[in-house]
Amino acid sequence: MTDTTMTIADTAVELQNELLLKALRLETLDRPPVWMMRQAGRYLPEYMALRRKYDFFTRVQTPELACEITLQPIDIIGVDAAILFSDILVVPQAMGLEVNMEEGRGPWLPSPVQDASDLKRLHAEEAAEKLSYVYDAIRLTRRALNGRVPLIGFAGAPFTLLCYMVDGGGSKTFSKTMAFCETFPDVAQQLLRSITSVTIDYLIAQAHAGADVIQVFDSWSGLLDEQAYSQLSHPWLAMIAEAVAPHAPVILFPKGSNHALPLLSQTQGVSAIGIDWTLDPAQARQLTGGRVALQGNFNPQWLHHSPAQIRQEVTAMIDAFGTRGYIANLGHGITPDVPVDHARAFVNAVKEYSHAEK
Ligand code: CP3
């Protein structure tokens, strides 16, 4: 079968759960769709079993394994959307940077970008083509889902990827990155431009392979003040949203950048914005003026509360956001120490919302 026939065959399967797509179209629903950032991950014993057998990039690069891990939270927790098991760092890797994942410690890039000369080591052309294993995983997962729930594809935002590419790993302050952007503003712009062009091709290819929705994770944009944000983050997100939106609805997750909500909600091609738990839902609605759907923002730490308490907190959260253009989610990823029952309590509380006392 050629790629084209597979795409046509896949789209022919009718989606049985359209809640996420309806919320993205700003429809009012009886209850919101629910999924959890990092829902395919270490809190699931079934994930841990595969993690013992295969290393991180083997899991990411083997479509059958990525597909199996993507389906786990659908079968075990019952979320309304699947998000492909992959990582934002596959893009720098495809551009030619070595990326290691140290289990339990996080990513480590031994030869980070330090100055203009390092840009020569990076290859933007063909990087999106090298990620064909991701498109294969999407096609396989799409077939395995058989229309049960929509599939979310994703990428890291250019600024967040730059943070890892320059700092060489995770950090609380990304101080090497901040110094790099100040010392070499032109090199930073050049690097962001090249990441953006790869990301656009990559996300459009994900949509063509069958991703129903695209999310862009700007996990570190909270490091930037408004002025820096307007140079290092927003222009690139705007280019991506505009280019990708004709192919699939786009959700942005600008973690920690509450000041950017008015601007992002007026950016062409943005269907939804994910917010973290530091912002009050009413304030988020006010800042975004009903122009986009909102996603979030349950404090991931609250998943340690009792299931009864989680249910109450979820009900209050949905009351505060309202059921028009709203996607229930966490304010950041679920942590490995959360009991599976508590994750299920969160999801069930959303699903039972219409029956909840109001
Ligand atoms: O959400 C999902 O379930 C889909 C899969 C997914 C992963 N990473 C798998 C993963 C997604 C959407 C990501 C995105 C990602 N990766 C982000 C943005 C989201 C966020 O949390 O802010 C970032 C910053 C990364 C980079 C990254 N990958 C880090 C910092 C780490 C180590 C920290 C951690 O959570 O372990 C990873 C590893 C990683 N990516 C794991 C998973 C399931 C854990 C790997 C393991 O030890 O098994």
In tens, the pLDDT along 227-245 reads 999 999 999 999 999 999 9
Q: What was the pLDDT predicted at 1?
A: 40
In-domain check, residue 211: yes
Domain, as residue range, for 298: 20-357
Residue 357 has pLDDT above 60, yes or no: no
* CB 57 less than 6 A from any atom of ligand 1: no
Q: What was the pLDDT predicted at 12?
A: 66
Active site residues: 38, 42, 51, 87, 164
Do 66 and 103 contact (CB within 8 A), yes or no? no
Q: What was the pLDDT predicted at 315?
A: 98
In tens, the pLDDT along 261-311 reads 999 999 999 999 999 999 999 999 999 999 999 999 999 999 999 999 999
What CATH number did the domain enclosing 140 receive? 3.20.20.210
For β-strands 82-83 and 213-218, DSSP reports them as: unpaired
Cα(358) to ligand 1 centroid in Å equals: 36
In tens, the pLDDT along 72-105 reads 999 999 999 999 999 999 999 999 999 999 877 8
| Cβ-based neighbour number of residue 82 at 10 Å | 26
Across the range 144-157, mean pLDDT stands at 98
In-domain check, residue 267: yes
In tens, the pLDDT along 175-219 reads 999 999 999 999 999 999 999 999 999 999 999 999 999 999 999
Q: What was the pLDDT predicted at 25?
A: 98
Do 327 and 297 contact (CB within 8 A), yes or no? no
Q: What was the pLDDT predicted at 7?
A: 52
Q: Which of 46, 87, 220, 251 to mutate to test the pocket of ligand 1 (most atoms within 8 A of CB)?
A: 87
In the numeric block, which tokens belong to residue 87? 């990582």
Across the range 343-348, mean pLDDT stands at 98
Residue 289 CA to its chain's centroid (Å): 23
Cα(333) to ligand 1 centroid in Å equals: 8
Residue 221 DSSP symbol: G
Residue with tokens 């339990």: 104
Residue with tokens 């503003």: 185
In-domain check, residue 4: no
Q: Directed axis angle between helix 158-167 and helix 175-183, to 10°? A: 100
Q: Phi/psi of residue 207, each to 5°?
A: -65, -40
The predicted model scores a pTM of 0.96
Cα(41) to ligand 1 centroid in Å equals: 8
In-domain check, residue 13: no
Do 126 and 194 contact (CB within 8 A), yes or no? no
| Helical segments of 107-256, H only | 127-130, 132-145, 158-167, 175-183, 185-209, 226-232, 234-244
Tell me how far apart the alpha carbons of residues 142 and 153 are, in angstroms, rounded to a whole number.
11
Residue 9 has pLDDT above 70, yes or no: no
Residue type, 347: V
In-domain check, residue 105: yes
| Cβ-based neighbour number of residue 331 at 10 Å | 22
Considering Cα of 156, then 159, then 160, then 164, what sign does the dihedral take? positive
Do 273 and 292 contact (CB within 8 A), yes or no? yes
* CB 87 less than 6 A from any atom of ligand 1: yes
Nearby residues of 53 by Cβ (< 8 Å), 6 or more positions away: none
Cα(38) to ligand 1 centroid in Å equals: 7
In-domain check, residue 175: yes
Distances (CA, A) of 189 to 160, 179, 231, 241: 13, 14, 8, 18
The verdict on whether omega for the bond into residue 297 sits within 30 degrees of 0, i.e. cis, is yes
Q: What was the pLDDT predicted at 133?
A: 98
Cα(87) to ligand 1 centroid in Å equals: 6
In-domain check, residue 265: yes
Q: What is the 3-state secondary structure (H, E, C) of 123-155?
A: CCCCHHHHCHHHHHHHHHHHHHHCCCCCEEEEE
Q: Which of 35, 37, 38, 93 to mutate to test the pocket of ligand 1 (most atoms within 8 A of CB)?
A: 38
In-domain check, residue 207: yes
Domain count of the chain? Answer: 1
Nearest alpha carbon to residue 278 among 300, 249, 263 = 300
Ligand 1: atom nearest CA of 37 is 1
* CB 46 less than 6 A from any atom of ligand 1: no
